[in-house]
Amino acid sequence: MAFYGDLFRPRGHRGVGEAELGASDVTDGLERELLLRWWTAAAGQDSRVAGPAAAARLRTPLLVQRALDALSHSAFFAGLGERAMIGSARQVRRYFTEPAIRAAARERLARAVTADTELIIAHSLGTVVAYETLCAHPQWRRPALITLGSPLAVPRLILDRLSPPPGAAPVPVRSWTNIADSADVVALAKRLDPVFGGGIDDIAIHNGAHAHDVRPYLTARETGQAVARAL
């Protein structure tokens, strides 16, 4: 496994969870916009979640706090605290705005790939790391790629920040399967094939209540079939 989660923790921090975060810690720009997009998507998937345009009687009128409160009651984010939701948005923001973290995450994957690597499986933000790392190493032995719950095609927030941008050069893979749950609000744009030049096998699945969790993605029959085809 090419692990890079420690890059987002403060130096010397031994805990496995996120630092204490609240609505006042959310920065304008990417963090705020991601939370609002997740809120809009969750409201579209779950009738119990009031959308951004709906009147809501909450303790605070702050838009971010409204978003966090609504998301905490959605089926998708059930069981996640505010700090986990904010922490997820913050990782995306830091990856794209802190060059040292971006380079280090890509290096972790590059070190794990060898001449014998046949397949790379990536999940969530890891699909961004995989895409950028593969494009930076066209000399590799064209492994197959499986992306799970990928936000790669989310316009403006993710897609427009990729290096290189889609279409600049063919992604050096021999096959690419993209698997997304229809209710996965992180994978806001479910299909990658129309955006990344064709040849991608986009597959829709249903993970149940844990739409974005890597475990149901990895244990889905469709993922197993994609692994078998790739190997």
Q: Assess whether 92 and 132 both reside in one domain.
A: no
- In angstroms, rounded to a whole number, what is the distance separating the alpha carbons of residues 139 and 146? 19
- In angstroms, rounded to a whole number, what is the distance separating the alpha carbons of residues 107 and 85? 26
Q: Assess whether 127 and 208 both reside in one domain.
A: yes
Q: Assess whether 74 and 151 both reside in one domain.
A: no
At 209 the pLDDT is 73
Q: Assess whether 173 and 88 both reside in one domain.
A: no
Q: Assess whether 212 and 147 both reside in one domain.
A: yes
Q: Assess whether 77 and 162 both reside in one domain.
A: no
On whether residue 107 sits in a domain, the answer given is no
Among residues 33, 61, 96, which one ends one of the domains?
Answer: 96
Q: Six-digit token pair at 176?
A: 């690419």
Instruction: Give just the sign of the alpha carbon dihedral 211, 66, 90, 192.
Output: positive
Neighbouring-strand partners of residue 162: none
- In angstroms, rounded to a whole number, what is the distance separating the alpha carbons of residues 50 and 31? 20
Q: Assess whether 86 and 156 both reside in one domain.
A: no
Polymer length of the chain:
231
Q: Assess whether 87 and 144 both reside in one domain.
A: no
At 213 the pLDDT is 85
Instruction: Give just the sign of the alpha carbon dihedral 54, 59, 60, 66.
Output: negative
Is the Cβ–Cβ distance between 23 and 85 less than 8 Å? no
pTM: 0.85
Q: Which residues contact 22 (CB under 8 A, 6 or more apart)?
A: 82, 83, 86
On whether residue 122 sits in a domain, the answer given is yes
On whether residue 59 sits in a domain, the answer given is yes
Number of Cβ within 10 Å of residue 220's Cβ equals: 18
- What is the chain's pLDDT, residue by residue, as a tens digit (231 residues)? 999 999 988 776 555 555 566 566 677 788 888 888 888 887 887 777 777 775 444 433 367 777 777 777 676 665 556 667 777 888 899 999 999 999 999 999 999 999 999 999 999 999 999 999 999 999 999 999 999 999 999 998 899 999 999 988 789 999 999 999 988 888 889 999 999 987 999 999 998 777 788 999 999 999 999 999 999
Q: Provide the greatest CA pair distance for the chain.
A: 58
- In angstroms, rounded to a whole number, what is the distance separating the alpha carbons of residues 190 and 212? 12
At 61 the pLDDT is 38
- The total domain count for the chain is 2
Q: Assess whether 85 and 131 both reside in one domain.
A: no
Q: Assess whether 129 and 221 both reside in one domain.
A: yes
Kindly state the DSSP code that residue 180 receives in the 8-state scheme.
E
Q: Assess whether 211 and 138 both reside in one domain.
A: yes
What three-state secondary structure class fits 56? coil
Q: 179: domain range?
A: 117-230
Q: Assess whether 53 and 156 both reside in one domain.
A: no
At 41 the pLDDT is 82
